[in-house]
């Protein structure tokens, strides 16, 4: 998820950020020239037919290989270009996942997060969106596809394909395509549609339910927080002034809290830290062990322990000897999220330039 992207991002107009919008990557030390995401014995998720989810807004029109006849090389072109992008800047990968999360949660997966009139009133202009990255990459991918198939493939679909490639760049799930682009983008809508990082599990579940996503989708997609980094300012309230008490959040592991304090001073708006304990460029089921041990930066991560279903999944993955189930579940939940409030058929438009209004 989100720059895990990350999604830094502020919520409630200045103090919190999106669960899925925290995949922020800006200055990760590059331990390797071109890290690849090794998924071990990962096998692609078995795709659940769209009709089983009973989506109300035309999602049944999404399908794998939607462009098989109109632009048969679309996915190949995106895959090839994404490999070049990763080689040039691997820190962009979590940010592209986060960008897709943000797009789907605000207005549905319609590419509205990409729109930019220059008026300062679009989704990307909201305070909560201030650290979104990857816009130029989507423009780059769109241009490559447009050169072969003008005005055929939507920006929303290209963003979904890019997010898939950003996670796996190797074994990968099938992306359902057929989305069309929206023509509305409103900054204030970000504040009411993105799950709050400091929200209760009840509040977060409610927002997911409004998107027709389940508790399992919630906990699985939260696993994207193994990716990326976050600014200290997004969680420093947990270190220095939790709930206005002037003390540390008691749900934080004491050793972990002290480690974070060494990296993040009060009122630090610039320092970034890894959101997980592993490589911030690699999706990892190790996130769930961190949740179990209360060594996570966001309250929304710790909140997963306060619901029977989400806690059961955390415990299962924290003790798992293989990441295969998590990777399969993550693939399916990404597919589920990609179905949220899409525009299909004769709804929406196909933009030639992803930032421009049609």
For the annotated binding site for substrate, the residues are: 195
Contact 22, 267 (CB under 8 A): no
Using DSSP bridges, classify how beta strands 63-64 and 176-177 pair: parallel, antiparallel or unpaired: antiparallel
> In the chain, what is the straight-line distance between the N-terminal and C-terminal CA atoms, in Å?
28
What is the per-residue burial (b if ≥16 Cβ within 10 Å, else e) of 190-215?
Answer: bbebbbbbbbebeebbebbeebbbbb
Where does the chain show beta strands of DSSP type E? 63-64, 176-177, 229-231, 272-274
Binding site residues, as ranges?
103, 106, 108, 110, 112, 123, 195, 225
Contact 15, 198 (CB under 8 A): yes
Q: Is 102 one of the annotated active-site residues of the chain?
A: yes
Other CB atoms within a 10 A radius of the CB of residue 84 amount to 10
CA gap 182, 23 in Å, rounded: 24
| 158: Cα within 13 Å, side-chain hemisphere | 38
Dihedral class, residue 89 (left if φ above 0, else alpha if ψ from -120 to 50, else beta): beta
Catalytic annotation, pick one of 100, 102, 231, 306: 102
Contact 339, 59 (CB under 8 A): yes
Contact 268, 232 (CB under 8 A): yes
Binding site residues for heme b, as ranges?
225
CA gap 173, 331 in Å, rounded: 6
Q: Which of 122, 97, 100, 119 is nearest to 110 (CA)?
A: 100
In a 3-state reduction of DSSP, which class is residue 170?
Answer: coil
Contact 16, 196 (CB under 8 A): yes
Q: Is the peptide bond before 6 cis (omega within 30 degrees of 0)?
A: yes
Bridge partners for 343 per DSSP: 180
Binding site residues for Ca(2+), as ranges?
103, 106, 108, 110, 112, 123
Question: Which sequence positions are flagged as catalytic?
Answer: 102
């Amino acid at each position: 998820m989100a720059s895990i992207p990350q999604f830094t991002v502020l919520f409630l107009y200045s103090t919190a950020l999106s669960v899925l919008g925290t995949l922020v990557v800006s200055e990760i030390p590059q331990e390797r020239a071109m890290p690849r995401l090794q998924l071990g014995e990962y096998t692609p998720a078995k795709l659940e037919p769209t009709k089983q989810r009973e989506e109300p807004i035309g999602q049944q029109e999404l399908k794998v290989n939607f462009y098989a006849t109109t632009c048969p090389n679309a996915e190949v072109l995106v895959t090839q270009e994404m490999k070049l992008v990763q080689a040039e800047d691997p820190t962009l990968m979590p940010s592209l996942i986060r960008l897709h999360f943000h797009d789907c949660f605000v207005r549905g997966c319609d590419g509205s997060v990409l729109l930019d009139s220059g008026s300062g009133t679009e989704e990307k202009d909201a305070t909560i969106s201030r650290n979104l990255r990857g816009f130029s990459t989507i423009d780059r991918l769109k241009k490559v596809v447009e050169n072969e198939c003008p005005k055929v493939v939507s920006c929303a679909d290209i963003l979904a394909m890019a997010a898939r490639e950003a996670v796996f760049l190797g074994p990968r799930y099938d992306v359902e395509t057929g989305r069309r682009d929206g023509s509305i983008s409103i900054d204030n809508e970000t504040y009411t549609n993105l799950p709050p990082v400091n929200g209760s599990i009840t509040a977060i579940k409610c927002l997911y339910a409004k998107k027709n996503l389940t508790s399992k989708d919630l906990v699985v997609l939260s696993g994207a927080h193994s990716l990326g980094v976050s600014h200290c300012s997004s969680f420093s309230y947990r270190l220095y002034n939790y709930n206005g008490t002037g003390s540390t959040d008691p749900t934080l592991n004491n050793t972990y809290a002290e480690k974070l304090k060494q990296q993040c001073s009060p009122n630090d708006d610039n320092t970034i830290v890894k959101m997980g304990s592993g490589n911030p460029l690699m999706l990892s089921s190790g996130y769930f062990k961190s949740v179990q041990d209360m060594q996570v930066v966001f309250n929304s991560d710790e909140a997963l322990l306060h619901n029977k279903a989400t806690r059961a999944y955390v415990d299962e993955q924290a003790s798992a000897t293989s990441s295969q189930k998590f990777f399969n579940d993550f693939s399916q939940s990404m597919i589920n999220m990609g179905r949220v409030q899409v525009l299909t058929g004769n709804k929406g438009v196909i933009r030639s330039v992803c930032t421009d209004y049609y």
